[in-house]
Amino acid sequence: MARAPSNCRIRSTSIADVPRAELLARLSRALRDVPDFPKPGIVFKDITPVLADATLFAETTAAMAAPYHGRGITHVAGIESRGFILAAPIAQALGAGFVPIRKSGKLPWRSVGKEYALEYGTDRLEMHVDACTTDSQVLLVDDVLATGGTAAAACALIEDVGGRVVGCSFLLAIAALRGHERLRGRSLDVLVVA
Ligand code: AMP
As annotated, the active-site residues are 82, 119
Q: How far apart are CA 107 and CA 99, in angstroms?
A: 11
Averaged pLDDT, 3-22:
60
Confidence class for position 19, pLDDT limits 50, 70, 90: confident
Residue 121, pLDDT > 90, answer no
For residue 146, how far is its CA from the centre of ligand 1 (angstroms)? 5
> Are the beta carbons of 48 and 96 closer than 8 angstroms?
no
Over residues 67-94, the pLDDT tens digits come to 999 999 999 999 999 999 999 999 999 9
> Are the beta carbons of 84 and 106 closer than 8 angstroms?
no
Averaged pLDDT, 122-132:
96
- Name the residue among 124, 125, 133, 126 with its Cα closest to residue 161: 133
Average pLDDT, the chain: 92
Q: Which atom of ligand 1 is nearest to the CA of 143?
A: 12
Averaged pLDDT, 5-24:
64
Around ligand 1, the residues with Cβ closer than 6 Å are 42-45, 79, 82, 118-119, 142-151, 179
Q: Which atom of ligand 1 is nearest to the CA of 147?
A: 3
Averaged pLDDT, 36-64:
96
For residue 17, how far is its CA from the centre of ligand 1 (angstroms)? 31
Q: What is the pLDDT of residue 117?
A: 83
Averaged pLDDT, 160-176:
97
Domains of the chain, start order: 8-193 (3.40.50.2020)
Top pLDDT among 39 and 187 is at 187
Q: Which atom of ligand 1 is nearest to the CA of 83?
A: 10
The pick from 150, 172, 181, 192 for probing ligand 1's pocket by mutation, whose C-beta has the most ligand atoms within 8 angstroms, reads 150
Confidence class for position 12, pLDDT limits 50, 70, 90: very low
